[in-house]
Amino acid sequence: MAARGGFSSRIGFIAAAAGSAVGLGNIWQFPYVAGQNGGAAFLLIYVFWIFLIGFPIMLGEITLGRSAQANPYGAYKKYGGKVWGLVGLFGILCGIMILSFYNVVSGWAFGYFLETSFGNLLENENHSSFFGEYVSDFTDNLWFSLGFMAITAVIVLQGVKKGIEGSAKILMPALFALLIGIIIYGLTLPGAMEGLKFYLLPDFSLITGATIYSALGQAFFSLSLGMGGLITYGSYLSKKENIVSSATMVAIADTMVAFLAGLMIFPLVFSQGQSPSEGPGLVFVALPGIFQAMGPILGKVVGSSFFLLLCFAALTSTISLLEVAVAYFIDERKWSRKKAVIVMAILIFLIGIPSMLGYGAIQGLTEFIFYEGNSKSFMDLIQDLFSVIALPLGGFLLSIFIATRWTTAKFSEEISLGAENYKGSFLEGFLNIMIKFVCPVVLGFMFVLTVLQKFFNVELF
Ligand code: PHE
């Protein structure tokens, strides 16, 4: 078998895995969800889930990947046979479907970056209707998302070391720098302190059962868990590396960026007297108005920096999503990297077209399914099926797989290769209990609740 690609260093792996984790989930989704759910109170619950459930599952994926040296299908099949292989295959399918809509939203970010830098976004009167028209303009969206997929493909084509690791090592520090720059600027604005207060003083009265449960879903999506992305990246990691400390860094980086994204957005939002609970339109509708108010030059600089940052964050995630499918075709079907990247990028782009058309361009896709007087777009449906429902299910199956097939003994053994003191440590005991009992129970419960809520419209709490 041809040698598999691999990361050249620990930092390379951390940058790539943190790049996968840090994405639209942190910068677009986290602030608006936190804004609607009690600010810092939501953050605390989110961090709780990240370390209680996210961290063990993350270690499970990375460790399984490194041990098996294979894509998710190959890894499950190696230790669990063909039937378990299906779980890996389902993960790969989820990656494909998530990328299909994620690339569309990334295309919006890319388009907004271009419109802010070179177009007339900031001269616009009504940002809400601009956004509405923007996402329903099929031609523009087609080009922007095609462009985004092409950039992703070019990077993945370069392979693990040069493409994935090389790009993450540049994009991640750039993202941090832009983030810090905008935060510092935002804090100098009048009204910024109100924003900080809103964000940092927890309001527990807004916390409901539904919040606690949606924070877990958010944590799962944000850490890129449950679809084998980290099995794939783990398979490129050297046996010498300490998985525990690398995973800790990734979890901290991801949480930190989500936290910083809030710190960036709320002072800006409050400085203009806007509502923090704007919802999904927060970055596309509320922020442009704020950039506009800064005046033509400053607005352009801050605005285009912001959308560039959003693109960088999205790009390191689309790279990881594409790599999962690519690794499968290289490992299992013996395709060349070039063939796998080109075929999959085109295919996934095409699968994304109905999602793209479901934001106003075609009525039937915009209101794709109805239930109880509500409608859901095609993109919402794909997102519910392959992300909101499937990722916790993937985590549930992974923990069952480790507990019953691969065994926690093998899991510990693999971790200890790069972490001498791991065996017999408190951490080992903790992780084993989490994987065997707590993760399956919590994630299994989560899966059932999500299905009930999404498809049977059961009011949960
Ligand atoms: N973690 C990414 C984000 O927060 C999304 C993602 C999910 C990427 C699953 C890869 C796999 O935007």
Q: List the structure tokens of 397.
A: 């199956």
Cα 390 to ligand 1 centroid, rounded to whole Å: 13
CA–CA dist 273, 109 (Å, integer): 24
Q: What is the DSSP string of 192-229?
A: HHHHHHHHHS--GGG--HHHHHHHHHHHHHHTT-SSSH
Q: What whole-number distance in Å separates Cα of residue 194 and Cα of residue 200?
A: 10
DSSP string, 273-317: T--TT--TTIIIIIHHHHHHHT-HHHHHHHHHHHHHHHHHHHHHH
Rounded to the nearest angstrom, the distance between the alpha carbon of 188 and the centre of ligand 1 is 32
Residue 23 neighbours by CB under 8 Å, 6+ apart = 102, 222, 224, 313, 314, 316, 317
Neighbours of 361 (CB within 10 A): 16
Tell me, in angstroms, the distance from the centre of ligand 1 to residue 351's CA.
18
Query: What values do phi and psi take at 423, rounded to 5?
Result: -60, 130
Q: Which two tokens stand for residue 8?
A: 């050249």
**Which stretches in the chain have pLDDT values below 70?**
1-3, 370-373, 460-461
What digits encode the pLDDT tens for the residues 317-335? Answer: 999 999 999 999 999 999 9
Q: Residue 27, by phi and psi: left (phi above 0), alpha (psi -120 to 50) or beta? A: alpha
Structure-token match 């070179």, residue found: 118
CA distance 115 to 122: 8
**The pair of three-digit structure tokens given for residue 186, joined into one six-digit string:** 């935002």
**pLDDT for res 460:** 66
Distance, in Å, from the CA atom of 83 to the CA atom of 77, rounded to the nearest integer, reads: 7
Which residues sit with their C-beta closer than 6 Å to ligand 1? 20-21, 23-26, 98, 221-222, 224, 227, 229, 317, 320-321
Q: Give the C-alpha distances (Å, rounded to integers) separating 202 from 38, 199, 316.
A: 6, 7, 31
Please state, as a whole number, how many other Cβ atoms lie within 10 Å of the Cβ of residue 201. Answer: 11
Write down the pLDDT at residue 373.
Answer: 63
CA of 92 to the centre of ligand 1 (A): 13
Which residue's CA is minimally distant from atom 11 of ligand 1?
224
